[in-house]
Every structure is written in C-alpha cells, then in structure tokens.
Amino acid sequence: MKQQIITDVVQHMLPHLDNMQLKELQKVLEHTLFDCEITKQEEKKTTNENPKLVDDFVAAKRIEGCSEKTLKYYRTTIETMVTSIDKSIRHIQTEDLRSYLTDYQSKNQSSRVTIDNIRRILSSFFSWLEDEDYILKSPVRRIHKVKTASNIKETYTDEELEKMRDNCTELRDLAIIDMLASTGMRIGEMVLLNKMDINFNERECVVFGKGDKERIVYFDARAKIHLQNYINSRTDDNPALFVTLRSPHKRIKIGGIETRLREIGKVMEIEKVHPHKFRRTLATMAIDKGMPIEQLQQLLGHKRIDTTLQYAMVKQSNVKQAHRKYIG
C-alpha cells in the first residue's frame, strides 16, 4: 500500500518534474513514510482509465501505419493481460508481468516464440506509456527476450516445384504457383491483386504489403506466359487477378489458395505445401545465388533486415562446399 501511494505521487508529478527531481522526490517519500503504517479505506473507483489507455495506444499504432489485423492482435494481447492481472495499468509491476507470462505459458502450453511475442507487445505498450508520461518506467524493461530455438525451416526443391507445375489440372493453379515462386510475395498480397495491376511488358506488379506499404515485385517469363494463358481463358468480368473456379467466380481468398495447394501437395506426396514456403524458397535461392541482402529485403518488403535473414536459410550443401574450399 505504501509503495503504491509513493508510485501514485511520483506518477502524478511526471509532467512537472525532470528525472533527477522525480528520483529525489521518490527518495524523500520513501524516507518520510518509512515508519508509517498506512491503511486505505476501501472505495469503488468511479472511473477506470485502463480501457482509455489501451484505446490511445492502439490509436497511436494505427497512425504509425499498423494494419487492422495487427492492431486487433495488439488489443487482444494487452486486454487479456490487464484482465488477468486485474490492476490499474499504472500500478502493474515487473513481478506481475513475470507471473502473468509464466502462468499463461503453463495454462496454454504455449511455445517460447508465442511468449516472446506477447512480451514484445507488452514492451511496446508500456514503453509508449513511459514516453507519454503515464508511468515513470516500463515494468517490462527487466524482462529480457525469451530465448527460442532456431528451427531450420524447409524450402521446396527444384524437383518439388516442377512436380507441382506438371500436375496442375487448372490454368489458375499453375499461374498461382508460378507467381508465388517467382515473386516471393505474401499470400495476403496476392489475393488483393487485380488484373490491371499487372505490367506484362516489364514483368512486374505493385503490391500493398503490411501497413499498406506499396512496393514493386517481379515475375519471370514462365509466370508471365502462364498468367496470360489463365487470364485469356476466363469468361468472367471480375477485376480480381485470381478468382474461384466455380460461378459466380468471386475473388479467391487466402483460405482457398491454402486449401488448393495442400490438395496438390497431398497428391504429389510433398510435405507441408503452404504459400509462405514459396516465399522462403525464393529468399533462400536468392541468397544462394549471391543477391545482396539489402536488395532481398526490398523485394520481400521487410521493415527490418533481421527478418530477411531469418527467411534466407543457408543450404547445407553450400556449407559443405565452403568447408572443403576454405578449410579442407
């Protein structure tokens, strides 16, 4: 109770004092109240500022350009934490968050990656509160990054890509596979494309990535031919680049492409056929052939180069060749 009162006083003085003065105030309060016993008369608060703080944070992130999907994930993560801890956000301490993350992992059997994602979101939230002078210091500062195992994620082999192409029974599916394989675009970017977005002369198209960021991606000659064949075969007037096979030929959704690719993979006995695997395959192939990482970052639309490095897996055969070349 005593520490909470000290924290409240310091937080209310945030707009009026600098850091040195705030630290001195905290020392004086702790010294003055050291021998005091404080009891608080219980009373119900008429207002709860927690929802407003969450709303303001989400609004700030929206201005920064975060997608609605990301904003929803942020809000859900923060609100779940606030409900579980059941305190005013201003009074949440490091110990509260550590206990919450530990209990969450135990209760939900969550992976380390999931827990670290939650930690990062909470860190962003409390850092924003600190920057906006709602709290003196973020309680997440002393909670370090969760160590996660670095799994080597699989890519498609050249043989697997050819198998999928050779066994496509629909022109649309062949065009989808070639566009994913040659552009490295996200599946969410592909389903938003319209026919008019495609520049066949330059073999390029403009996509809108995360946070509505615009960039140009490029496709190869094979993808161009298969895409033209698919478009010319269509009888509908839907402006979407890829539509459903059955009438009324609506714009295809992410789930539709994922299901179709899984079915093709099952017939060909290729494990884990997924749209994102094409993106990872392109990144690995580009690095393997010597493409500068900065250019690959631009091609994939990554904000941070660290993300690009995670996508680009070094082939083990190249490691073996390099060992023989440089070490013997």
Residue 139: is its pLDDT beyond 80?
yes
Of the pLDDT bands very low, low, confident and very high (cuts 50, 70, 90), residue 44 is: very low
Look at residue 96 in the predicted model and tell me its pLDDT. 94
Residue 189: is its pLDDT beyond 80?
yes
Q: For residues 186-208, give the mean pLDDT.
A: 93
Residue 61 Cα to chain centre, angstroms: 14
pLDDT in tens, 83-127: 999 999 999 999 999 999 999 999 999 888 899 899 999 999 999
Of the pLDDT bands very low, low, confident and very high (cuts 50, 70, 90), residue 233 is: very high
Residue 151: is its pLDDT beyond 90?
no
Q: What is the mean pLDDT of the chain?
A: 86
Residue 202: is its pLDDT beyond 70?
yes
For the ranges 29-38, 72-81, 101-110, 183-192, the lowest mean pLDDT is seen at 29-38
Q: For residues 147-160, give the mean pLDDT.
A: 77
Task: Select the highest-mean-pLDDT range: 6-20, 137-151, 237-251, 260-274.
Answer: 237-251
Of the pLDDT bands very low, low, confident and very high (cuts 50, 70, 90), residue 228 is: very high
The more confident residue out of 322 and 249 is 249
The overall pTM is greater than 0.75: no
Q: Is the dihedral of CA 266, 268, 271, 275 positive or negative?
A: negative
Residue 316: is its pLDDT beyond 90?
no
Percent of the chain residues topping a pLDDT of 90: 52
Give the integer Cα–Cα distance in Å for 68 and 74: 10
Give all domains of the chain, ordered by start, each with its CATH number.
1-41 (no CATH), 53-148 (1.10.150.130), 158-322 (1.10.443.10)
**Nearest CA to 139 among 79, 88, 98?**
98
Q: Indicate the burial class of 274 (C-beta count within 10 angstroms; 0-12, 13-18, 19 or more).
A: middle
Look at residue 315 in the predicted model and tell me its pLDDT. 58
The dihedrals phi and psi of 140, each to the nearest 5 degrees, come to -85, -10
Of the pLDDT bands very low, low, confident and very high (cuts 50, 70, 90), residue 45 is: very low
Which tokens is 46 given? 């008429």
Which tokens is 266 given? 């099952």
**Nearest CA to 129 among 3, 5, 25, 11?**
11
Residue 199: is its pLDDT beyond 70?
yes
